Amino acid sequence: MSTLIDLANLIFPNINLTIDDLEKKYPVRDLKEGAMVTRFAPSPTGFLHTGSLFTSLISYRLAKQSGGVFYIRLEDTDTKREIEGSGADLVKQLNYFGIIPDEGYINDDLEKGNYGPYKQSARADIYKVVIKELIKKGRAYPCFCSASDLEELRNYQIQNKITPGYYGKYAKCRNLSPDEAISLIKEGKPYIIRFKSMGNEQNKIKIHDEIRGDLELTENYQDIVILKSDGLPTYHFAHLVDDHFMHTTHVTRGEEWLASLPIHIELFNTVGFKLPKYAHLPVIMKEENGNRRKLSKRKDNEAAVSYFISEGYPKYALIEYLLTLANSNYEEWREQNLDKSYNDFILSFNKMSLDGALFDIEKIANIAKERLAYKKASEVEEELKEWAKTYDNNFYQKIINNEEYIIAILNIDREKAKPRKDYAKYSDIYPLIKFFYNDEFKKLVANGYEWNSEKDKLEIIEILTYYKDNYNLASDESLWFNDLKEMCPKFNYAANTKDYKKNKELYKGHVGDIAEYLRVAMTTKKNSPNLYAILNILGKEEVIRRINLAIKSLEA
Q: Which residues of this chain interact with ligand GLU, rule CB under 6 A?
A: 41-43, 75, 239, 253, 257
Q: What minimum distance in Å lies between the beta carbon of 276 and ligand GLU?
A: 10
One DSSP character per residue, 148-203 reads HHHHHHHHHHHHTT---SS-GGG-GGGG--HHHHHHHHHHT---EEEE-----TT-
Q: Which is nearer to ligand GLU, 108 or 459 (CB)?
A: 108
**How many Cβ atoms from other residues are within 10 Å of residue 282's Cβ?**
21
C-alpha 63, offset from chain centre: 19
Q: What minimum distance in Å lies between the beta carbon of 81 and ligand GLU?
A: 11
Q: What minimum distance in Å lies between the beta carbon of 42 and ligand GLU?
A: 5
Q: Which is nearer to ligand GLU, 230 or 288 (CB)?
A: 230
Q: What minimum distance in Å lies between the beta carbon of 59 and ligand GLU?
A: 8
Q: Which is nearer to ligand GLU, 55 or 523 (CB)?
A: 55
Q: Which is nearer to ligand GLU, 236 or 286 (CB)?
A: 236
Q: Which of 424, 430, 428 is nearest to 321 (CA)?
A: 424
β-pair type (103-107, 69-72): parallel
- Over 221-254, what HEC string results? CCCCEEECCCCCECHHHHHHHHHHHCCCCEEEEE
Residue 261 in contact with residue 276, Cβ under 8 Å?
no
Q: Which of 63, 46, 67 is nearest to 55 (CA)?
A: 63
Instruction: Return d(Cα 357, Cα 367) in angstroms, integer.
Output: 17
Angle at the Cα of 228 from the Cα atoms of 195 and 16, rounded to 5 degrees: 75
Q: What minimum distance in Å lies between the beta carbon of 333 and ligand GLU?
A: 27
Q: Which is nearer to ligand GLU, 43 or 411 (CB)?
A: 43
Q: b/e per residue, 457-470, with b = 16+ CB within 10 A? A: eebbbebbeebbee
Helix (H) or strand (E) holding 357: strand 357-358
Q: Which is nearer to ligand GLU, 92 or 442 (CB)?
A: 92
Residue 280 in contact with residue 258, Cβ under 8 Å?
yes
Residue 218 in contact with residue 201, Cβ under 8 Å?
yes
Q: What minimum distance in Å lies between the beta carbon of 40 and ligand GLU?
A: 7
Q: Which residue is nearest to ligand GLU (CB)?
A: 253
Q: What minimum distance in Å lies between the beta carbon of 409 and ligand GLU?
A: 43
Q: Which is nearer to ligand GLU, 40 or 387 (CB)?
A: 40
> In the chain, helix, strand, coil percent, each to 5?
55, 10, 35
Sequence-distant (≥ 6) Cβ neighbours of residue 430 within 8 angstroms:
392, 395
Q: In what order do the strands lie in the sheet with 291-294?
A: 291-294, 284-288, 357-358
Instruction: Return d(Cα 80, Cα 52) in angstroms, integer.
Output: 21
Q: Which is nearer to ligand GLU, 305 or 384 (CB)?
A: 305
Q: What minimum distance in Å lies between the beta carbon of 257 and ligand GLU?
A: 6
Residue type, 290: G
Q: What torsion, rounded to 10 degrees, do the Cα atoms 350, 366, 254, 279 define?
A: -20
Instruction: Return d(Cα 181, Cα 4) in angstroms, integer.
Output: 10
Q: Which is nearer to ligand GLU, 253 or 375 (CB)?
A: 253
Q: Which is nearer to ligand GLU, 257 or 480 (CB)?
A: 257
SS3 (DSSP) at 215: strand
